[in-house]
């Protein structure tokens, strides 16, 4: 026999396996899934083998006679060469078969890789910066881009424009992911949002750990082309920890983020950063003009010039231009524009503090935090400080060191030229000798720990007009030094530990605003002090005074002395007050000069009222703007009179009585129910304590007396957020049936042994994640309508002690 070579093999099963994999890929792609990168590589190699095998067979068949029929040494070499190629092809096929055992062949792809985000109808002033950033992303070797600039300058708008530009790009990114980064960085939430966008969220996802989820994200994203847009970062975001491949300069994937801090661009390893600047005047005017409207600007020949002045006062800041422009969009009188210019240029002391706050709330420059407080958004605060710093006149200097953990006041040389200073929310414990500050107009020292103070501290502050000392514990002798501030117009002593006011304060003859709210320890306000403050416009005395009043104080007795002193204040227009008799309230209402003021009062406290056994609800309902009502230690109070069956409810509802009421505190009375509370539709906070006779919050009997037509559209406690009940020995019911409580966040119960049933079903308040605080023994004794309700509220219990 000669040196013959015979090769035979079958690829049927291998081909069948490959065909099966290819079919799976085709089916997945019909479902609009994307084949995995490793599957794509495998298919390419299958195609190469598919071409090689027929070509090899054709060559073998074409030379069949030469290779298989001859016995010369040359033919042997040829046979060996072809045999070797066949063996190599076989090995490739077998290798492909093994590699083709894919668990997954494709992954889901979002219908639109880019989610279009809303933009204002006309975006002004960002095109140049947008073009520069876009060239950087599409033409330059850059993987990470930072956009930095002050709050309100338009960074989010610019990032939105970048996002929407990817809708029309030809770069075919697999994912464009938008992520808003909260100030308290929460990587878990960011991870969930990213996973949802790239299609990883499934039944098994929730059971994975943070690290496992990061690995899954990385496996999916490492072979894709993505864009990650991070809006508003406050600290370093670790992209790798999230599971994202970190783009290099040469990466096709991109990361763009916005931040206020330029330093963060370095911390984020940005390959390039751009500062987002305020608008130039032409762009600023176009934006302002758009928000105001041509119909307003053309409504009077004087308005265009005035409007240009207003626009300039906004300093090119888009947030200011938009907010002020919208506020002026209905102002057709030149005097209204002149007033706006005065407001932007002048100090707040020239205007009503109350009307200013109301206007700022309506303009969204302040946010309502609760019934008694407003807050300024940090973007608006930054804007205000920026405008102040860029429009400083020669005689205006600001020093703001709030919340920076100071333990002492700034060194004396810093006080000499300052006109406005804020040292709030620090840990200042000592006030030294008076710093030379002849130009100082405003001083904020609130929320400090002042325990030592030189009485002469204010000696060199002759120009001071506004002094805020709230939330501090002040030495008694310290207040005497304030009496030397003859220019003082606004004094805030609220929530301080003072026990009395010195008579010397009567020398503050220019004082317009005095705040004594929540001064629980004060026992003495000398006679003739308040009546001598002839220029007072706002007097705040809600929950003012201790139970141990001195006979020489205007707070002593039934408050008639206080009422008498109020009658002499001709400029008074804002009043919150604590009274110690219902007769004093009636006398205030009987005074023509005080009646209108009291009807607008936001806060009233009736406390320690002797011999007050019944109280007319109609009298309280006449206080149309009453927001907070405190009734404590009215020990003889048994009834709050209202004719439920005779139209009393209808009358109060028709006159919108209690419409503004937000907060009610009742303690130490003989009341058996407070059914009248259902007439306060916007009530948010109720606190009941030490009422030993109280059996029901809302009486089932009294509720039955109200005609059905008077109950229409009445949802009891529809806006209630907080309910606190303690020391109510006989209380057995809050409401006779289950209520939705859509806004209830907190229920606190203590020493209410008869309260064994709550007005809840399995859906009450759950969307608000209600917290119920009380003793465990009380919780264990509660009675539930069904097991589902009990189970629903079991996670809400938090053991708590009053």
User: Using 50, 70 and 90 to split pLDDT, how confident is the model at 350?
Assistant: very low
Q: Are 462 and 438 in contact (CB under 8 A)?
A: yes
- Which of 182-191, 614-623, 721-730 is most confident? 721-730
Q: What is the mean pLDDT of residues 668-697?
A: 93
Higher pLDDT, 31 or 775: 775
H helical segments located in 31-126: 37-62, 64-69, 73-99
Q: Burial letters for 152-188: b for 16+ Cβ neighbours within 10 Å, e otherwise?
A: bbbbbbbbbbbbbbbeeeeeebbbbbbbebeeeeeee
Helix, strand, coil percentages (3-state) for the chain, rounded to 5, are 40, 15, 45
DSSP secondary structure letter of residue 532: H
Distance set, CA 126 to CA 122, 132, 382 (Å): 11, 10, 21
Instruction: Retrieve residue 215's tokens.
Output: 């690995």
Higher pLDDT, 478 or 190: 190
- Is the per-residue pLDDT at 332 higher than 80? yes
Q: Is the dihedral of CA 418, 422, 428, 430 positive or negative?
A: positive
DSSP string, 617-679: HHHHHT-TT--EEEEE--TT--EEE--TTTTHHHHHHHTTTTTT--EEEEES---S--GGGGG
Q: Are 276 and 154 in contact (CB under 8 A)?
A: yes
User: Using 50, 70 and 90 to split pLDDT, how confident is the model at 39?
Assistant: low
Q: Are 141 and 64 in contact (CB under 8 A)?
A: no
User: Using 50, 70 and 90 to split pLDDT, how confident is the model at 710?
Assistant: confident
First to last CA, the chain: 107
Q: Is the dihedral of CA 779, 782, 788, 789 positive or negative?
A: negative
Instruction: Retrieve residue 475's tokens.
Output: 């030495």
Distance set, CA 627 to CA 174, 207, 743, 782 (Å): 54, 48, 18, 33
Higher pLDDT, 335 or 572: 572
Give CA–CA dist 49/89, Å, rounded. Answer: 7
Q: What is the mean pLDDT of residues 227-239?
A: 91
Residue extents of the structural domains in the chain: 12-108, 127-275, 281-390, 611-618+631-802
pLDDT tens-digit map of 444-473: 999 998 888 877 888 889 899 999 999 988
Confidence (pLDDT) at 266: 87
Q: What is the mean pLDDT of residues 136-153?
A: 89
Give CA–CA dist 107/219, Å, rounded. Answer: 11
Q: What would be the CATH architecture of the domain defined by 127-275?
A: 3-Layer(aba) Sandwich (3.40)
Question: How many C-beta neighbours within 10 Å does residue 783 have?
Answer: 8
Q: Which of 344-353, 430-439, 661-670 has the lowest mean pLDDT?
A: 344-353
Confidence (pLDDT) at 459: 86
Confidence (pLDDT) at 754: 95
Give CA–CA dist 624/599, Å, rounded. Answer: 6
Confidence (pLDDT) at 604: 92
pLDDT tens-digit map of 483-541: 889 999 999 999 998 989 999 999 999 999 999 999 988 988 998 899 999 999 999 99
Give a three-class secondary structure readout of 732-783: CECCCCCCCCCCCCEEEEECCCCCCCCCCCCCCCHHHCCEEEECHHHHHCCC
Question: How many C-beta neighbours within 10 Å does residue 216 have?
Answer: 18
- Is the per-residue pLDDT at 55 higher than 80? no
Give CA–CA dist 175/223, Å, rounded. Answer: 12
Give CA–CA dist 591/588, Å, rounded. Answer: 5
Give a three-class secondary structure readout of 241-283: HHCCCCCCCCCCCEEEEEECCHHHHHHCCCCEEEECCCCCHHH
Strands (E), 436-493: 442-444, 452-453, 466-468, 490-492
pLDDT tens-digit map of 106-115: 555 555 678 8
Q: Share the mean pLDDT of the chain.
A: 82
Confidence (pLDDT) at 390: 56
574-579 and 367-368 strand pairing: unpaired
Q: What is the mean pLDDT of residues 739-767?
A: 87
The fold adopted by the segment(s) 611-618+631-802 is: 3.80.10
CA-based R_g, the chain, Å: 38
Q: Which of 106-120, 284-298, 427-441, 456-470 has the lowest mean pLDDT?
A: 106-120
- Is the per-residue pLDDT at 385 higher than 70? no
Give CA–CA dist 144/239, Å, rounded. Answer: 11
- Is the per-residue pLDDT at 140 higher than 50? yes
């Amino acid at each position: 026999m000669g040196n013959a070579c015979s090769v035979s093999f079958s690829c049927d099963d291998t081909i069948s396996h490959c065909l099966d994999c290819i079919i799976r890929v085709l089916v997945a792609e019909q479902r609009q899934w994307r084949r995995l990168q490793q599957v794509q590589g495998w298919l390419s190699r299958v195609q190469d083998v598919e071409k090689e095998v027929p070509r090899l067979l054709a060559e073998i068949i074409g030379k069949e006679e030469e290779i298989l029929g001859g016995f010369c040494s040359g033919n042997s070499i040829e046979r060996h060469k072809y045999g070797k190629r066949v063996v190599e092809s076989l090995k490739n096929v077998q290798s492909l078969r093994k590699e083709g055992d894919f668990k997954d062949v494709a992954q889901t792809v979002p219908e639109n890789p880019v989610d279009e985000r809303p933009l204002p109808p006309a975006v002004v002033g960002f095109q140049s910066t947008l073009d520069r950033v876009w060239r950087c992303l599409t033409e330059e070797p850059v993987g990470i881009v930072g956009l930095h600039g002050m709050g309100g300058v338009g960074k989010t708008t610019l990032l939105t424009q970048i996002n929407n530009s990817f809708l029309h790009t030809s770069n075919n990114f697999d994912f464009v992911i938008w992520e808003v980064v909260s100030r308290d960085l929460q990587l878990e939430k960011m991870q969930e949002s990213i996973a949802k966008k790239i299609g990883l969220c499934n039944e098994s996802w929730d059971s994975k750990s943070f690290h496992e989820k990061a690995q899954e994200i990385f496996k999916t994203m490492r072979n894709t082309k993505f864009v990650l847009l991070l809006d508003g970062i406050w600290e370093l975001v670790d992209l790798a920890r999230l599971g994202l491949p970190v783009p290099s300069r040469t990466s096709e994937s991109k990361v763009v983020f916005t931040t206020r801090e330029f330093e963060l661009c370095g911390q984020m390893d940005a390959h390039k950063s751009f500062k987002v600047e305020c608008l130039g005047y032409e762009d600023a005017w176009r934006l302002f003009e758009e928000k105001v409207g041509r119909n307003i600007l053309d409504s009077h020949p004087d308005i265009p010039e005035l409007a240009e002045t207003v626009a300039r006062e906004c300093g090119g800041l888009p947030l200011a231009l938009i907010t002020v422009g919208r506020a002026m969009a209905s102002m057709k009188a030149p005097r209204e524009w002149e007033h706006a210019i005065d407001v932007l240029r002048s100090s707040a002391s020239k205007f009503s503090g109350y009307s200013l706050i109301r206007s700022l709330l309506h303009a969204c420059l302040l946010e309502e935090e609760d019934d008694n407080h407003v807050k300024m958004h940090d973007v608006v605060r930054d804007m205000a400080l920026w405008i102040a710093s860029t429009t400083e006149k020669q005689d205006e200097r600001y020093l703001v060191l709030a919340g920076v953990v100071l333990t002492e006041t700034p060194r004396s040389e810093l006080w000499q030229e300052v006109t406005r200073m804020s040292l709030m929310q620090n840990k200042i414990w000592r006030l030294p000798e008076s710093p030379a500050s002849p130009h100082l107009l405003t001083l904020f020292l609130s929320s400090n720990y002042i325990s030592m103070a030189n009485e002469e501290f204010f000696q060199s502050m002759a120009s001071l007009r506004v002094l805020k000392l709230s939330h501090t514990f002040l030495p008694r002798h310290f207040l005497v030094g304030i009496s030397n501030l003859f220019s003082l117009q606004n004094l805030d002593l609220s929530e301080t530990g003072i026990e009395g006011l010195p008579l010397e304060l009567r020398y503050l003859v220019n004082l317009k605003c005095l705040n004594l709210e929540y001064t629980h320890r004060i026992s003495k306000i000398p006679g003739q002090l308040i009546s001598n403050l002839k220029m007072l416009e706002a007097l705040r005395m809600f929950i003012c005074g201790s139970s141990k009043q001195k006979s020489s104080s205007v707070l002593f007795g039934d408050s008639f002395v206080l009422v008498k002193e109020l009658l002499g204040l001709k400029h008074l227009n804002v009043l919150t007050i604590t009274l110690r008799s219902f007769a004093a309230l009636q006398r205030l209402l009987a005074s023509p000069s005080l009646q209108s003021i009291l009807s607008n009062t936001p806060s009233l406290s009736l406390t320690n009222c002797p011999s007050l056994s019944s109280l007319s609800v109609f009298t309280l309902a006449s206080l149309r703007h009453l927001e907070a009502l405190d009734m404590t230690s009215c020990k003889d109070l048994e009834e709050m009179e209202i004719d439920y069956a005779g139209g009393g409810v209808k009358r109060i509802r028709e006159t919108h009585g209690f419409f503004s009421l937000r907060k009610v505190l009742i303690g130490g009375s003989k009341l058996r129910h407070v059914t009248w509370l259902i007439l306060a539709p916007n009530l948010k906070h109720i606190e009941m304590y030490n009422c030993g006779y109280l059996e029901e919050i809302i009486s089932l009997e009294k509720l039955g007396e109200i005609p059905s037509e008077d109950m229409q559209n009445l949802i009891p406690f529809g806006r209630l957020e907080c309910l606190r009940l303690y020391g109510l020995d006989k209380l057995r019911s809050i409401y006779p049936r289950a209520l939705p409580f859509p806004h209830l966040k907190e229920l606190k119960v203590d020493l209410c042994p008869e309260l064994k049933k709550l007005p809840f079903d399995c859906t009450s308040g759950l969307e608000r994640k209600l917290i119920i605080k009380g003793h465990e023994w009380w919780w264990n004794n509660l009675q539930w309508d069904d097991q589902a309700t009990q189970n629903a509220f079991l996670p809400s219990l938090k053991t708590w002690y009053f």
